[in-house]
Amino acid sequence: MDPRGRVSRRSPSVRGAAAPPRATGVRAARAVRAIVRLAAVLASLFVFSLVLAHDPIAAVFVREAERFQEAAAPAAPQATVVTLRLLNRARAPSVRVLKNGEPVASFADGEVRVTVRPGDRLLLDGRAQPGTVLVAALWVQDGRPQARTLALTGDVQALEWASGP
Protein backbone atom coordinates (compact mmCIF):
# COMPACT_ATOMS: atom_id res chain seq x y z
CA MET A 1 0.00 0.00 0.00
CA ASP A 2 1.12 3.48 -0.63
CA PRO A 3 0.89 6.30 1.94
CA ARG A 4 -2.60 7.23 0.77
CA GLY A 5 -3.93 3.73 1.53
CA ARG A 6 -4.21 2.62 -2.05
CA VAL A 7 -2.81 -0.61 -3.38
CA SER A 8 0.30 0.03 -5.37
CA ARG A 9 0.58 -1.55 -8.79
CA ARG A 10 4.27 -2.16 -8.26
CA SER A 11 3.89 -4.21 -5.11
CA PRO A 12 0.46 -5.69 -4.76
CA SER A 13 -0.39 -6.49 -1.17
CA VAL A 14 -3.64 -8.25 -1.97
CA ARG A 15 -3.34 -11.91 -2.72
CA GLY A 16 -4.55 -12.98 -6.14
CA ALA A 17 -4.27 -9.48 -7.53
CA ALA A 18 -3.69 -9.32 -11.26
CA ALA A 19 -0.13 -9.01 -12.46
CA PRO A 20 0.90 -5.52 -13.38
CA PRO A 21 0.14 -4.60 -16.99
CA ARG A 22 3.85 -4.09 -17.59
CA ALA A 23 4.55 -7.83 -17.13
CA THR A 24 1.97 -8.69 -19.78
CA GLY A 25 3.59 -6.13 -22.07
CA VAL A 26 6.97 -7.81 -21.56
CA ARG A 27 5.51 -11.17 -22.54
CA ALA A 28 3.89 -9.68 -25.61
CA ALA A 29 7.16 -8.01 -26.59
CA ARG A 30 9.00 -11.34 -26.23
CA ALA A 31 6.39 -13.08 -28.34
CA VAL A 32 6.66 -10.40 -31.03
CA ARG A 33 10.47 -10.71 -31.02
CA ALA A 34 10.19 -14.51 -31.35
CA ILE A 35 7.79 -14.18 -34.28
CA VAL A 36 10.08 -11.66 -35.98
CA ARG A 37 13.06 -13.99 -35.50
CA LEU A 38 11.10 -16.92 -36.90
CA ALA A 39 10.05 -14.86 -39.93
CA ALA A 40 13.69 -13.82 -40.47
CA VAL A 41 14.85 -17.44 -40.33
CA LEU A 42 12.15 -18.56 -42.77
CA ALA A 43 13.01 -15.71 -45.15
CA SER A 44 16.70 -16.65 -44.92
CA LEU A 45 15.90 -20.27 -45.73
CA PHE A 46 13.78 -19.19 -48.68
CA VAL A 47 16.56 -16.99 -50.07
CA PHE A 48 19.12 -19.74 -49.43
CA SER A 49 16.98 -22.26 -51.34
CA LEU A 50 16.70 -19.83 -54.27
CA VAL A 51 20.48 -19.42 -54.33
CA LEU A 52 20.96 -23.20 -54.23
CA ALA A 53 18.46 -23.69 -57.03
CA HIS A 54 20.56 -21.52 -59.38
CA ASP A 55 23.99 -22.67 -58.21
CA PRO A 56 25.39 -25.34 -60.61
CA ILE A 57 27.36 -27.09 -57.85
CA ALA A 58 24.31 -27.23 -55.61
CA ALA A 59 22.29 -28.60 -58.53
CA VAL A 60 24.71 -31.55 -58.73
CA PHE A 61 24.17 -32.27 -55.03
CA VAL A 62 20.41 -32.04 -55.44
CA ARG A 63 20.49 -34.49 -58.37
CA GLU A 64 22.66 -36.91 -56.38
CA ALA A 65 20.30 -36.68 -53.42
CA GLU A 66 17.31 -37.42 -55.68
CA ARG A 67 19.14 -40.39 -57.22
CA PHE A 68 19.96 -41.70 -53.73
CA GLN A 69 16.31 -41.37 -52.67
CA GLU A 70 15.17 -43.24 -55.78
CA ALA A 71 17.70 -46.02 -55.12
CA ALA A 72 16.61 -46.26 -51.48
CA ALA A 73 12.93 -46.45 -52.40
CA PRO A 74 11.31 -49.86 -51.90
CA ALA A 75 10.88 -52.14 -54.89
CA ALA A 76 7.91 -51.41 -57.09
CA PRO A 77 4.82 -53.29 -55.95
CA GLN A 78 4.28 -54.60 -59.49
CA ALA A 79 7.10 -57.14 -59.06
CA THR A 80 5.76 -60.61 -58.32
CA VAL A 81 7.47 -63.85 -57.44
CA VAL A 82 6.19 -66.84 -59.40
CA THR A 83 6.88 -70.21 -57.82
CA LEU A 84 7.07 -73.16 -60.23
CA ARG A 85 6.88 -76.70 -58.78
CA LEU A 86 7.16 -80.10 -60.39
CA LEU A 87 4.11 -82.23 -59.62
CA ASN A 88 4.99 -85.66 -61.01
CA ARG A 89 8.78 -85.77 -60.60
CA ALA A 90 11.30 -84.95 -57.90
CA ARG A 91 13.53 -83.14 -60.37
CA ALA A 92 13.80 -82.40 -64.07
CA PRO A 93 17.09 -80.56 -64.72
CA SER A 94 16.60 -80.50 -68.48
CA VAL A 95 13.40 -78.43 -68.21
CA ARG A 96 14.40 -74.78 -68.44
CA VAL A 97 12.56 -71.63 -67.39
CA LEU A 98 12.96 -68.72 -69.81
CA LYS A 99 12.11 -65.14 -68.91
CA ASN A 100 11.78 -62.90 -71.97
CA GLY A 101 13.64 -65.53 -74.01
CA GLU A 102 16.62 -65.77 -71.60
CA PRO A 103 17.22 -68.88 -69.47
CA VAL A 104 16.85 -68.03 -65.76
CA ALA A 105 16.52 -71.43 -64.05
CA SER A 106 16.08 -75.18 -64.39
CA PHE A 107 14.24 -77.69 -62.23
CA ALA A 108 17.36 -79.30 -60.73
CA ASP A 109 15.75 -79.14 -57.27
CA GLY A 110 12.11 -79.53 -58.28
CA GLU A 111 11.14 -75.93 -57.49
CA VAL A 112 12.01 -72.58 -59.09
CA ARG A 113 11.20 -69.02 -58.01
CA VAL A 114 11.27 -66.25 -60.62
CA THR A 115 10.64 -62.54 -60.07
CA VAL A 116 8.55 -61.07 -62.86
CA ARG A 117 7.25 -57.61 -63.68
CA PRO A 118 4.35 -56.59 -65.89
CA GLY A 119 5.25 -57.31 -69.50
CA ASP A 120 7.66 -60.17 -68.69
CA ARG A 121 6.94 -63.46 -70.44
CA LEU A 122 7.73 -66.82 -68.88
CA LEU A 123 8.31 -69.88 -71.04
CA LEU A 124 8.83 -73.46 -69.89
CA ASP A 125 11.10 -75.38 -72.28
CA GLY A 126 10.59 -79.13 -71.93
CA ARG A 127 11.98 -80.19 -75.31
CA ALA A 128 15.00 -81.94 -73.79
CA GLN A 129 12.98 -83.84 -71.17
CA PRO A 130 11.48 -87.19 -72.20
CA GLY A 131 7.91 -87.97 -71.12
CA THR A 132 5.34 -85.68 -69.60
CA VAL A 133 6.25 -83.16 -66.91
CA LEU A 134 3.51 -81.52 -64.83
CA VAL A 135 4.35 -78.05 -63.49
CA ALA A 136 2.29 -75.95 -61.06
CA ALA A 137 2.74 -72.19 -61.20
CA LEU A 138 1.76 -70.22 -58.07
CA TRP A 139 1.74 -66.45 -57.49
CA VAL A 140 -0.24 -63.70 -55.74
CA GLN A 141 -2.10 -61.22 -57.92
CA ASP A 142 -4.25 -58.37 -56.56
CA GLY A 143 -3.99 -59.88 -53.09
CA ARG A 144 -5.36 -63.27 -54.21
CA PRO A 145 -3.40 -66.46 -54.79
CA GLN A 146 -3.34 -67.64 -58.39
CA ALA A 147 -2.40 -71.05 -59.81
CA ARG A 148 -1.94 -72.67 -63.21
CA THR A 149 -0.95 -76.22 -64.10
CA LEU A 150 1.01 -76.97 -67.27
CA ALA A 151 1.74 -80.33 -68.88
CA LEU A 152 5.00 -80.35 -70.85
CA THR A 153 5.29 -83.15 -73.38
CA GLY A 154 8.56 -82.33 -75.09
CA ASP A 155 7.47 -78.83 -76.10
CA VAL A 156 7.69 -75.17 -75.09
CA GLN A 157 4.76 -73.61 -73.28
CA ALA A 158 4.13 -70.05 -72.24
CA LEU A 159 2.86 -69.35 -68.75
CA GLU A 160 -0.11 -67.04 -69.38
CA TRP A 161 -2.15 -65.08 -66.84
CA ALA A 162 -5.08 -62.69 -67.01
CA SER A 163 -3.39 -59.38 -66.31
CA GLY A 164 0.12 -60.63 -65.63
CA PRO A 165 1.95 -60.94 -62.34
Query: What pLDDT does 163 receive?
Result: 41
Assess whether 150 and 84 both reside in one domain. yes
With 0.75 as the threshold, say if the pTM is over it.
Answer: no
95 and 132 within one domain: yes
Question: Is 65 found in the same domain as 107?
Answer: no
Identify whether 102 is part of a domain: yes
CB–CB of 142/90 below 8 Å? no
Considering the domain boundaries, does residue 6 fall inside one? no
Neighbours of 136 (CB within 10 A): 14
Side-chain half-sphere of 103: how many Cα atoms within 13 Å? 9
Residue 128 pLDDT: 87
Does the residue 68 lie in any domain? yes
What is the domain range of residue 29? 21-72
- pLDDT one-digit tens code per residue, 127-155: 888 888 888 888 887 778 888 888 888 88
105 and 145 fall within a common domain:
yes
Q: How far apart are CA 57 and CA 75, in angstroms?
A: 30
* Average of per-residue pLDDT across 9-16: 55
DSSP H helices in 55-165:
56-72
Tell me, yes or no, whether 62 and 105 share the same domain: no
Does residue 63 sit in the same domain as residue 106?
no
Average pLDDT over residues 94-100: 91
In a domain, 136, yes or no: yes
| Residue 106 forms part of a structural domain | yes
On the question of pLDDT at 5 being above 70, the answer is: no
Q: How many domains does the structure of the chain reveal?
A: 2
**What average pLDDT does the structure give for the chain?**
77
**107 vs 48, residue with greater confidence:** 107
